[in-house]
Amino acid sequence: MQSIPADTVNGRNIWQEVGLTGIHIGQLLIEQGVLSEGQVQHILKVQKISHRPFGDLAERLYGVDPKAVEDAWVQQYLRMVGVIDLEEQHIEVECLRMLNRRQAWQFHLLPLHREAEGLQLATSAEDLVRSVNFTTRKFDEPVHFLIAEREQLREFLMKHYPVPQCIAQFSENM
């Protein structure tokens, strides 16, 4: 599983190195009113020395709720990759066979196709963290997450992994 990197690793900005620019988690936490500019600057200084992920340091140094860091990470990823229209995506039957119905619905995850960088999977912003956690245990290959609107994703799950309506409704609250 190819993980989605934190803003910096060993003092290097990963997003810039791979040609992607985006908003930093610290900036998002400021926007959310979780941290001040001064706190973010302090975390960045500590990060240069410790080489720890920004979110981990925010939790340790300022007691930031891990859920707030997680939400900021999802927002960062969403701003970086945007939202796709599943109607425009190629779906390979071979990839669909990689998950069973329960897994697809439980994690709101739709395998799409393979590209050079790995398996392309669609999920929603609301389900991204759970999908990442699941795929790290399920797949032994690089994966790339594409974000779809949750309602459209559920329509495609019903098309490719049909379940009784009661199960689809139950999974809506997961």
Neighbours of 76 (CB within 10 A): 20
User: Average per-residue pLDDT in the chain?
Assistant: 85
- What average pLDDT does this structure show over 148-170? 88
Which residues are within 8 A (CB) of 134 and not within 5 positions of it... i.e. 6 or more apart? Answer: 103, 106, 107, 109
The angle, 0 to 180 degrees and rounded to 10, between the axes of the packed helices 128-138 and 66-81 is 90
CA 169, CA 174: separation in Å to the nearest integer? 10
- Amino acid code (one letter) for 33: G
As given in the structure block, the two tokens for residue 48 are 């240069």
Tens of pLDDT, residue by residue over 56-66, are 999 999 999 99
Give pTM, 2 decimals: 0.74
- pLDDT confidence of 7, banded at 50, 70, 90? very low
Fold annotation for 84-172: GMP Synthetase; Chain A, domain 3 (3.30.300)
Give the confidence band of 21 by pLDDT, cuts at 50, 70, 90: low
Instruction: Flag whether pLDDT at 14 surpasses 70.
Output: no
Instruction: Average the pLDDT over 32-43 and give the result.
Output: 94
The answer on pLDDT for 132 being more than 60 is yes
- SS3 labels along 25-47: HHHHHHHCCCCCHHHHHHHHHHH
Q: Which two tokens stand for residue 121?
A: 């999977």
| Confidence band for 23, pLDDT divided at 50, 70 and 90 | confident
Helix (H, G, I), strand (E, B) or coil at 134: helix
Q: C-alpha 93: how far from its chain's center? A: 24
Answer yes or no: are the C-beta atoms of 77 and 122 closer than 8 Å. no
Average pLDDT for 30-54: 93
Res 155 pLDDT > 90: yes
Please say if the pLDDT value at position 81 is more than 50. Answer: yes
Q: Where are the domains of the chain?
A: 8-81, 84-172
3-state secondary structure (DSSP) of residue 151: helix
CA distance linking residue 20 with residue 16, whole number of Å: 5
Is beta strand 110-115 parallel, antiparallel or unpaired with respect to 8-9?
unpaired
